[in-house]
Amino acid sequence: MIHSLTLSDVLAEHARSRPRETAAVDGDVRLTYPELDTRVSRLADALSALGVAPGERVLWLGQNSHAVLELLLACSRLGAVFCPANWRQSADELLFVVEDLTPRVVVWEPSEATTAARRAGPATAAWVRAGEEYERLLAGGVAREFAQVADTEPVLALYTAAFGGRPSAALLSSAALVAHSTSLLVVRQMEPGFTFLSSGPLFHVGTMMFCLATLQIGGVNVFTPAFDAEEVCRLVDTERVTQAFLFGPMIDAMLAVRPRGKYDLSSLRFVSHSEEWDELITVDDSPWCRSKMGGYGQTEVGGMLTFLGLAPGASGFAGRPSPLVQVRILGPGGAEVPVGEVGEICARGKSLFSGYFARPDLNADKFAYGWYHTGDLGRREPDGTITFIGPRLRMIKSGAENVYPAEVERALRSHPAVADAAVIGVPDERWHQAVKAVVVLGSGAEATAEELIGHVKGLLASYKKPREVVFADAIPRRGPAPDYDALDRAHGGGNYPGS
Amino acid sequence: MIHSLTLSDVLAEHARSRPRETAAVDGDVRLTYPELDTRVSRLADALSALGVAPGERVLWLGQNSHAVLELLLACSRLGAVFCPANWRQSADELLFVVEDLTPRVVVWEPSEATTAARRAGPATAAWVRAGEEYERLLAGGVAREFAQVADTEPVLALYTAAFGGRPSAALLSSAALVAHSTSLLVVRQMEPGFTFLSSGPLFHVGTMMFCLATLQIGGVNVFTPAFDAEEVCRLVDTERVTQAFLFGPMIDAMLAVRPRGKYDLSSLRFVSHSEEWDELITVDDSPWCRSKMGGYGQTEVGGMLTFLGLAPGASGFAGRPSPLVQVRILGPGGAEVPVGEVGEICARGKSLFSGYFARPDLNADKFAYGWYHTGDLGRREPDGTITFIGPRLRMIKSGAENVYPAEVERALRSHPAVADAAVIGVPDERWHQAVKAVVVLGSGAEATAEELIGHVKGLLASYKKPREVVFADAIPRRGPAPDYDALDRAHGGGNYPGS
């Protein structure tokens, strides 16, 4: 255990090394590191009293909050696993998560979907309402000592990878998360005092990874429930935020609220976007930031596997691997393919996940030949850099979200009028891609496009619903799978990730 | 093994990711990463044929060379342990190392001491001469595949900690070395292209740790046999060196060869030293470098445990712990002492060593209560930073070298004329401290100071010999140990590390 360093240990050290520094800001809540450490101990004790033993799961169904970080750290202190689930999901999707993860405790914010999931979910979980009930639970716990936990134990579960029609929870250990945070500290040259605003959702690894790297260096984590352009401007100003989770449309929305003069955004060290934006912020033109955090990643590798910043002037636009991993481009039999040839991007290393929760067969497939198989195709260029080609199986990228055609097709096929369905991504100016469905109705059955879109919306998170539905006589197939290339040609598909 | 990342794995990844980049420069030798990778595989195969199985030791008795890095990486590839020993040691000291470490292979540069150690050493080791014989050995090996090694296995042994009169070999695993390198990448903000000149000895963790961090980020390692002021100036100029192992007297020697105009030292990003020096180099005034690499460290923690750069404006001049460790100030019973009180600096974390080779009792002591005990006293300040007070047992710091009084006293007492002896450190303008011996001669025995200094020089590395010997009637004692405080008062001792 002498070499173990859990997230809980990181916090315990900061409580001693940074007794006066701010750890978390969320609305009226401001916590120093010692205050956060004490709250996490109380919370761990209270969760333990609710039956959260090592290896048990705690589920969060709500928007961003400092409670997300507290619950993660309390689970780390106990050796338990914390899962912040996508609160934008439908009741059906949330119910799947509750039944799949079998949490001992669910902390939830009431909404139509969470209320429905609570009503239908198994009676084995204790449901605790976020806010006052959560505070009462925490206040009832005692800040005591806890047994040392091995940092190889899983601590964070993030649902992803719905290629098979239903998502799976990727389990990340403290060792993997600490290693990934450290790789971000190296590549982004994060310094003490770094202040991160969780303006993206914390159930998304892209936001969570910066929240954790900020914790690692003893910086300040600022939480906001969800992206609101004016509130983000206000928080950047008042908290002197160094970085936030932002991409194109979010930046445009911030510019639309005209912060100039009203909000001082100069603390934001961010990539160049437009003349107007660049005048408001501090453009970070270091070779590291100029990369726009470019690279290649996914939840299962802890966030980023490769960084463009490690390969200035690179041929391969995914850059080079993080200093804490190895990457191999492997053929179907597990042999490395030659430079310049396409194979599956595979990896080993310190930041990799421990497998999916309760998916032994999938795990055996994904870890074949002693390498983690990302499911993505790539190529090693002659200069050693890596090019990401695209998912081995089809995926649509809408906004920052992954949409798995299989999952939307499964929802469409559950409608009584639908005989068959296939889903493609079509170019979209604002969101990069939009979801488009090609549907074959059953003999004599009738349904409108609106009806089918509403049906999917009732089952899945809203961003997964088709923007458009077209009807066809048959879905072209290549083997058992839809012939997506033919569908793209016939229905205007394109802009897929990596293309 | 999916989470394992050995030094050998780091090299294997660079061979793919950096096919054209220079890995090592040493005289006429220039190796790209793929060339280094192939040589390491050949060397590992050849060492394996000489009986170097996993866990076996390989010893280097010589000055700095690219062969040091190659042997370390080849041992990593085999799961063996590599030890670069202090070639400045006496024949007696070298023989102790050979008999203590029981290496399977010794690669040696001929000198009086190494030749004597070879003659007297055990016959179980294969002795390979550095240079041509080493090259022939390497050329006879085959660049084949090797079984994956767990990164928790020891790979580097560095002799240190001679408090008991004889040094012990601290064993560092790949996991610890990779973690420590990564902490240097974070704190020094090392970037790809970083070029390090090993102008200090590679048997010293202070040089080795930068050599390994440079490997980790895929930079360039430049080797020079030993410090030579003009040669260092020349190499900085021709190789555009970013950093070298340099401290005060070395910088003064470089200035004395008057490099201005002759050598361009502007690539050196280094700390401010004097007006003349600052004009020649690029003074790094980032908050990180301004720390002058300040902090607290030792071999057993992989190099540095705390960094001043993590604590701008700190009270405690050791700064704050590396992001990959925890530090506790513990009392004799293993309980944490309150803020502001002195206790032993103890640690846990990713960069810590695995214990000393073949020292089970010492290891049990050093890892008591689940924390590594550094043997140094320190204090946690109210701002959370750490102050280093000094060794719990006495140590002298002369130049960058540690001199353990017990070791020098042991050598003095082995002289037939000496009845008792104690050794203190006295302030020295150039080397910070000089060694001074207080000697009690046996009844009727005679010996001059010169004779005793010569005796110690014959047994120990030259820098450990007393500069001065005074004779006394008795050594004041406090229990079984010399009363060093009384000796310091009587004989002008001072300037001890931490004082």
Provide DSSP, A330-396. Answer: E-TTSPBPPTTSEEEEEEEETT----BTT-HHHHHHHTGGGSEEEEEEEEE-TTS-EEEEEESS--E
pLDDT reported for residue B291 = 47
Contact A370 B148 (CB under 8 A): yes
Contact B323 A349 (CB under 8 A): no
Option in B17, B18, B350 nearest A3 (CB): B350
pLDDT reported for residue A174 = 98
Cα A108 to the chain's mean position, in Å? 19
Cα A407 to the chain's mean position, in Å? 18
Contact A3 B310 (CB under 8 A): no
Residues in chain A with CB shorter than 8 Å from the CB of B320 are: 17-18, 192, 218
pLDDT at B292 over 70: no
Cα separation, A160 vs A345, in Å, equals 18
- The model's confidence at residue B135, banded by pLDDT at 50, 70 and 90, is very high
Torsion of CA A103, A108, A110, A116, to 10 degrees: -10
pLDDT reported for residue A288 = 55
Provide DSSP, A179-229. Answer: HHHHHHHHHTT--TT-EEEE-S-TTSHHHHHHHHHHHHTT-EEEE-SS--H
Q: Which helix (H) or strand (E) holds A295?
A: strand A295-298
- The class that CATH gives domain B307-391 is mainly beta
Identify the segments of chain A with pLDDT beneath 70.
163-165, 259-260, 286-293, 479-480, 498-499
Residues in chain A with CB shorter than 8 Å from the CB of B3 are: 152, 175-176, 348-350, 352
> Mapped to the 3 state alphabet, what secondary structure does B274-307 carry?
CHHHHHHCEECCCCCHHHCCCEEEEHHHCEEEEE
Cβ A478 vs Cβ A112: under 8 Å? no
**How far B268 CA sits from the closest chain A CA (Å)?**
19
Residues in chain A with CB shorter than 8 Å from the CB of B182 are: 182-183, 186, 323-324
The vertex-B215 CA angle with B213 and B220, nearest 5°, equals 110
Residues in chain B with CB shorter than 8 Å from the CB of A385 are: 17
Contact A16 B327 (CB under 8 A): yes
B308 compared with A23, residue with greater pLDDT: A23
Contact B17 A186 (CB under 8 A): no
**Domain spans of chain B?**
7-226, 307-391, 396-491
Q: With CA atoms as reference, report the closest residue to B385 among A31, A192, A19.
A: A19
Contact A9 B348 (CB under 8 A): yes
pLDDT at B421 over 70: yes
Cα distances (Å, whole numbers) of residue B316 to A307, B312, B320, B384: 36, 10, 8, 8
Contact B217 A371 (CB under 8 A): no
Q: With CA atoms as reference, report the closest residue to B343 among B396, B387, B394.
A: B387
List phi, psi (to 5°) of B353.
Answer: -70, 170
pLDDT reported for residue A12 = 98
Cα separation, B299 vs B445, in Å, equals 41
Q: Which two tokens stand for residue A173?
A: 């250990």
Cα separation, A380 vs B17, in Å, equals 8
pLDDT reported for residue B403 = 85
**Longest alpha-carbon distance in chain B:** 71
- Domain A396-491 is of which CATH architecture? 2-Layer Sandwich (3.30)
Contact B16 A186 (CB under 8 A): no
Q: How many Cβ atoms from other residues are within 10 Å of residue A274's Cβ?
A: 12
Option in A182, A218, A321 nearest B324 (CB): A182
- The class that CATH gives domain A302-391 is mainly beta
Cβ B347 vs Cβ B325: under 8 Å? yes
% of chain B exceeding 90 in pLDDT: 73
pLDDT, average across residues B161-188: 90
Residues in chain A with CB shorter than 8 Å from the CB of B9 are: 326, 348
Option in A17, A176, A191 nearest B384 (CB): A17
Residue B340: closest CA among chain A residues belongs to which residue? Answer: A16
- The model's confidence at residue B498, banded by pLDDT at 50, 70 and 90, is low
The listed range with the strongest mean pLDDT (A494-498, B473-477, B494-498) is B473-477
pLDDT at B416 over 70: yes
Contact B192 A326 (CB under 8 A): no
List phi, psi (to 5°) of A270.
Answer: -140, 170
* Parallel/antiparallel/unpaired status of strands B432-441 and A477-478: unpaired
Helix/strand/coil percentages in chain B, nearest 5? 35, 25, 40
pLDDT at B492 over 50: yes
pLDDT reported for residue A291 = 47
Residues in chain B with CB shorter than 8 Å from the CB of A148 are: 370
Cα separation, B8 vs B69, in Å, equals 11
Q: Which two tokens stand for residue B32?
A: 């790209």
Cα separation, B498 vs B377, in Å, equals 9
Residues in chain A with CB shorter than 8 Å from the CB of B312 are: 192
- The model's confidence at residue B287, banded by pLDDT at 50, 70 and 90, is low
Option in B19, B349, B367 nearest A383 (CB): B19
Option in B12, B372, B385 nearest A2 (CB): B372
Cα separation, A114 vs B331, in Å, equals 51
How deeply is B20 buried, as exposed, middle or buried, from its count of CB atoms within 10 A (0-12, 13-18, 19+)? exposed
Cα separation, B482 vs B476, in Å, equals 6
Cα separation, B339 vs B336, in Å, equals 9
Which runs of consecutive H residues, i.e. helices, occur in B355-448?
Answer: 360-366, 405-413
- Domain B7-226 maps to which CATH number in 3.40.50.12780, 2.60.40.10, 3.40.30.10, 3.30.70.380? 3.40.50.12780
Model confidence over B55-97: pLDDT tens digits?
Answer: 999 999 999 999 999 999 999 999 999 999 988 888 999 999 9
Contact B17 A384 (CB under 8 A): yes
Cβ A67 vs Cβ A159: under 8 Å? no
Cα distances (Å, whole numbers) of residue B317 to A10, B291, B310: 21, 10, 11
Contact B4 A310 (CB under 8 A): no
* Parallel/antiparallel/unpaired status of strands A195-198 and A243-244: parallel
Cα separation, A182 vs A176, in Å, equals 10
pLDDT, average across residues B282-288: 73
A79 compared with B274, residue with greater pLDDT: A79
Token pair 């401007």 is found at A233
Average per-residue pLDDT for chain B: 92
Contacts of A17 (CB under 8 A, 6+ apart): A218, B311, B320, B321, B327, B384, B385, B386
Residue A184: closest CA among chain B residues belongs to which residue? Answer: B186
Residue A7: closest CA among chain B residues belongs to which residue? Answer: B324
Contact B382 A191 (CB under 8 A): no
pLDDT, average across residues B480-484: 77
**How far B224 CA sits from the closest chain A CA (Å)?**
26
Q: Mutual orientation of helices B174-187 and B7-17 as an angle, nearest 10°?
A: 60
SS3 B164: coil
Cα separation, A378 vs B448, in Å, equals 75
pLDDT reported for residue A208 = 98
Residues in chain B with CB shorter than 8 Å from the CB of A4 are: 348
pLDDT, average across residues B412-431: 92
